[in-house]
């Protein structure tokens, strides 16, 4: 893996180079093993939280981890194109607009002892902007090369906070073209429902049950590109003990192994229909 500037990353994409890099500010990673018509993203995978913010933050390390999406990059890491955040959403949220990306409160609790200075905010928002410069360059190249693209926007959610039964997988489709892509949405839901899970975990999947797909990553791509479908895909945190902060690696690996084959087949089917 190389450490590269945003300009260098964009240049490599435009030149269709194969590479794996971390941005020079260490805010995100990108891997391109091959130029294919699909992309995997994990914008909330990151847990880094820059040290100068620690003392001012009211939320504990565990409270931040609880609201992040750990291991979502690992679930898709075997695919040719993967882009993932390294910083915590508590520093800035890549799945929110620049105007709302820096929290003042989070999940009903004030985040900062003292309001952040404009300088502190600017540091975070520069990283947010840089990420989206690369996203734009990446999807532009994929659409240019293949005429279409599908993005698997991987997230997780805390199922134990709900007071009703919730699905293992939720697809948020409120902001994509359901008339145009309805068959691909339903086939992806069906694929996830058939996933074999260890430890007696049942794999269920629904559309717009717990979340509707209102994230900025999806909206940014959908609003800027006419031929790209973004599938906001949320897994309930059955792959960890969300209350004890314990990961279950055998579940993460089971998800990754299933998606190695099934996600690729789904992406290929999408491309054959929409190229």
Q: What per-residue confidence (pLDDT) applies to 64?
A: 95
Q: What per-residue confidence (pLDDT) applies to 107?
A: 87
Which residues are registered as beta bridge partners of 40?
82, 152
Picking from 72, 35, 36, 11, the residue whose alpha carbon sits closest to that of residue 236 is: 72
Which H or E element spans position 30? Answer: strand 28-32
Q: What per-residue confidence (pLDDT) applies to 28?
A: 98
Which H or E element spans position 12? Answer: helix 6-14
Q: What per-residue confidence (pLDDT) applies to 84?
A: 98
Picking from 128, 141, 116, the residue whose alpha carbon sits closest to that of residue 220 is: 128
pTM: 0.97
- The total domain count for the chain is 1
What's the gap between Cα 270 and its chain centre? Answer: 20
3-class DSSP state for residue 183?
helix
Residue 209 φ/ψ, nearest 5 degrees: -90, -60
Segments forming the whole domain that contains residue 82: 2-267
CATH code for the domain of 118: 3.40.630.40
Domain membership of residue 17 (yes or no) is yes
Domain membership of residue 94 (yes or no) is yes
Q: What digits encode the pLDDT tens for the residues 237-265?
A: 999 999 999 999 999 999 999 999 999 99
Q: What distances in angstroms separate CA 12 from CA 8, 22, 274, one per listed residue?
A: 6, 13, 26
Task: With a cut of 50, list the residues of the chain below it in pLDDT.
Answer: none
Domain membership of residue 273 (yes or no) is no
Domain membership of residue 41 (yes or no) is yes
What's the gap between Cα 216 and its chain centre? Answer: 11
CB burial class (10 A; 0-12, 13-18, 19+) of residue 95?
buried
Q: What per-residue confidence (pLDDT) applies to 6?
A: 98
3-class DSSP state for residue 58?
coil
Domain membership of residue 170 (yes or no) is yes
Determine the Cα–Cα distance for residues 218 and 40; give it in Å rounded to an integer: 12
Token reading at 57: 């933050």
Domain membership of residue 201 (yes or no) is yes
Domain membership of residue 272 (yes or no) is no
Q: What per-residue confidence (pLDDT) applies to 68?
A: 97
Q: What per-residue confidence (pLDDT) applies to 108?
A: 86
Domain membership of residue 274 (yes or no) is no
Angle at 245 between CA 190 and CA 233, to 5 degrees: 20
Residue 19 φ/ψ, nearest 5 degrees: -165, 165
Q: What per-residue confidence (pLDDT) applies to 160?
A: 86
Token reading at 156: 């997780």
């Amino acid at each position: 893996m190389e450490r590269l500037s945003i300009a260098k990353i964009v240049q490599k994409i435009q030149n269709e180079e194969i590479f794996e890099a971390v941005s020079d500010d260490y805010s995100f990673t990108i891997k391109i093993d091959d130029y294919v018509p699909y992309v995997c993203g994990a914008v909330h995978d990151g847990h880094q939280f820059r040290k100068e913010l620690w003392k001012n933050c009211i939320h504990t390390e565990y409270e931040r981890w609880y609201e992040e999406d750990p291991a979502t990059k690992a679930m898709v890491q075997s695919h040719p194109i993967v882009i993932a955040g390294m910083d915590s959403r508590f520093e800035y949220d890549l799945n929110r607009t620049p105007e709302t990306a820096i929290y003042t409160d989070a999940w009903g609790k004030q985040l900062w002892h003292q309001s952040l200075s404009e300088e502190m905010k600017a540091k975070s928002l520069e990283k947010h902007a840089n990420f989206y410069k690369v996203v734009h360059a990446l999807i532009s190249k994929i659409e240019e090369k293949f005429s279409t693209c599908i993005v698997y926007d991987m997230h997780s959610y805390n199922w134990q906070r709900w007071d009703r039964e919730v699905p293992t997988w939720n697809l948020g489709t409120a902001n994509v073209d359901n008339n145009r892509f309805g068959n691909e949405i339903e086939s992806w839901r069906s694929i996830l429902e058939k996933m074999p899970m260890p430890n007696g975990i049942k794999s269920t999947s629904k559309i717009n049950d717990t979340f509707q797909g209102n994230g900025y990553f999806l909206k940014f791509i959908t609003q800027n590109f006419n031929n790209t479908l973004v599938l906001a895909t949320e897994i309930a945190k059955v792959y960890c003990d969300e209350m004890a902060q314990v990961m279950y690696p055998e579940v993460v690996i089971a998800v990754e192994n299933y998606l190695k084959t099934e996600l690729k087949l789904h992406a290929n089917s999408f491309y054959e229909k929409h190229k």
